[in-house]
Structure 1
Amino acid sequence: MRILVLGGTIFLSAEIVRQALAAGHQVTCLARGTPAAPPDGATWLHTDRSQGTAAYSAASGGGWDAVIDVSRDPGQAREALEALAGSARHWTFVSSCSVYADHSMAGAAEDAGVLAPLPPGSELSAGNYGEAKSAIEHWTTELAGDKAHLCRAGLIGGPGDGSDRYGYWPARFARDSDPVLVPDIPTDSTQIIDVRDLAAWILTAAGNGTTGALNAVGEPVPFAAYLEESRQLADGYGEVVAAPEDWLASHGANYWAGPDSLPLWLPPGHEGFATRSSAAARAAGLRTRAWMDTLQDTLADERRRGLGRERKAGMSPVTERRILSEYRAAVAAGAG
C-alpha cells in the first residue's frame, strides 16, 4: 500500500510507520518533525499543519491507499480531510474511548452515546479532549464517508509510552524497597492496548478496507492482578499500603494521570471506563498479546529510561512519603 501518515514521529504514529515499512509498504509522513523525525525509510514531507490547507499541498493528488490521522485538533483534521479524503481509498482516524459520554456502564460497546463535538474555534485543553475527538469523528464521517475507520483506542501502553501511566506501578516496585502506597481498589478494572498491537490493527484494518467505529482495547484486568504482576516482575519486596479512595482523594493524591497521581485509579463515575467491549474489532481482525507480556516489556523500557526520572504521571517520592505518614497516623488514631 501507499500510506500517508499525518504524523509519524511519536509513539503510536511512529510505530505504525515502523510496522508498515517492515511489511514492505511505501510510507510518507507529513509532519513538522518536532521533537523527532519519522523512522528511517519513510518519505518525509516537512509540514506544519497549523498553516491550514496549504500544509497538505505536497500530499494532495497522491492517490493514497490509506491515510492515517492521529490528530486531536478538529480544525487541522477537517483541513486534512478536505484536502485529501477525496483521493484516498481508506481513511483511518485514531480516535479515543474518551468520546463516550457515559463511562459508568461495564462492557459498553460502540453503540453507546458519544459527547457533543467541540464547537469550532474552542481552545483545546485536557478537559475537552473527548469533545475534540468527537468533533474529528464527525468531520471524518462527514468528509470521508463510507471509507472511514474510526479507531476508538483505549489507554495505550507498551514501550515508548510518554504518558508514564501504565509503567508507573512496575517502575515504582522496582525503584526501591520503601513502602508503596496504593489505592484500595482490588476489583476495579484496568484495560490497555499494547501500542504494537494497536499499530498492527490499524494497518490490518486499512488493508482490509475495514470501516466504521470500532473499540480498540485490550482485555479487562483486575487492578489487584495487575499490581501483583507488577510487583513480581520488579522483584519488589517493599510493604504495600492500601488506603481508601476517599481518604486518598482528600489528602493530595490525584486520580488517573498527571503529577502526584496514582495511575489507573479512576474517579467516581468511571466504573466502566476500563471495561469497554472490543468484540466488534476482534471479529474484524484485532489481535492483542497477553497483558503480562506488555507489562514485562514496559518495565524493561522503564528501566532503560530511568526509574528515578521525573514522570508525567505518578506520585513523587516526597508526596508518597508524606501521605503514607499521614495515613499511618490516621489509622493509629482510629480515623483511617
Structure 2
Amino acid sequence: MRKMADHFAVFVLGLLAVFAVSLFTLYSYSNIRKQHVIVTVATLIAWYSSFIIVFILPLDISATKYKQCQKDHNCSLENSNNIHETDPHHGFLANMTTVSSPSSCPCVEPWSWVPQTVLSVFWKIVYWGAQVLTWLVLPIMNSYASAGEFTVIGKLKSAIIANLIYYATYVVIFCICLIYLATQPYVTIDLENLKVIGITASNTWGLFLLVLLYGYGLVDIPRSIWQSSHTYMLQQTYFKVAKVTMEYSEAQEKYDDTLEDVRRSVEVIKYNHPFRKYVDTILSKCPRISGDHCEGMMIMWTTMNKTVAFPQRNHSSRCI
C-alpha cells in the first residue's frame, strides 16, 4: 500500500506541476488583473487540458507496456500491487490468485505506474472536457466578445447565430457517418453507437481543420520568414522608394499648379473686391515659404497692412 501511495504521490505532483506551468503561461501572455474571471478560468482549463496530455501520455504508455509484459509472462498485475476484488459468492474480499509468483516475474514496475482504471477515468474527463470547451464554451465566448449588441441576451443570440455555420458543418459530418452506418448490415443504431458517431464526426472535423491550417501554415510561415530577410526587405524598400518618388513628383506638380492658381486669383481679386476675404482665408492656409528655402520663387503682393510671401511656379528648384 505504501508503494501505491508513492505512485499516486508522483501522479498528483505531476498534475500540480502541469497546473503551475499552465498558470505561469497564462500569466505571461495575458493580463489576469484586467481581464474577466470567466475568460481567465476558461483559458486556464483549456491550456491545462492540452498541457496535461503531454504528462499523461507517457504514464499511459508505460502502464500499458507493463501490463502487456505481465500478460505475456503470465504474471498477475493485481496481486503484485495488492489490489483486491469482491467475491460475489462469499461476500468478502479475497486476494486474486497468481499463476506465477511475483518474484519470478521479469516485468519491472515503472516508477510512475498508475492503475489503468485511474487513467481511464482521467482520459474521459480530459477528452469530454476538451469537447465541451472546443464545441461550446470557447466559440460562444469568442463570438460573444466580438458581438455588437448592448445586452447579454443579445450578445448570446448573436454568438449562437455566428456559430451556426460551425455547428452545421459538424451536423453534416455526423449525418454522413450516421447514414453510412445505417446502410451497413449487422449494425444497430443505439446510444453507444451514436456516441461513437459523434466522436468520429468531431475527430473528422478536427483533422480537416488541422490539415487545412497546416497546409496554409507550412507555406505561409516559411514565406514570411524568407520575406523578412535583409536582402528581400532591401529590394522591397528600393521598390517602394521608386514608387514613393514618383508619387512625390506628381504631388509636387499638383502643389505647384495649386499655388499658381492661387497666385492668379490674388492678382485678379484686389483688396477692395467682395471676395477678397475669401482669398485672404486661402492665403492664410498656404504654407509660409522663406527666401532661404525657395530661392527665386517669391513674389510679393501687398494687402492693406501686411505683406505675404508667395512662391512662383518654377520646376527648376524645389522647397525643402
TM interval, short-chain normalised: under 0.3
Task: Give the TM-score normalised by the residue count of structure 1.
Answer: 0.21
Q: Whose helix fraction is larger, Structure 1's or Structure 2's?
A: 2
Q: Whose strand fraction is larger, Structure 1's or Structure 2's?
A: 1
Task: Give the TM-score normalised by the residue count of structure 2.
Answer: 0.22
Q: Which has the larger radius of gyration?
A: 2
Q: Which has the higher contact order (CA 8 A, sep 6+)?
A: 1
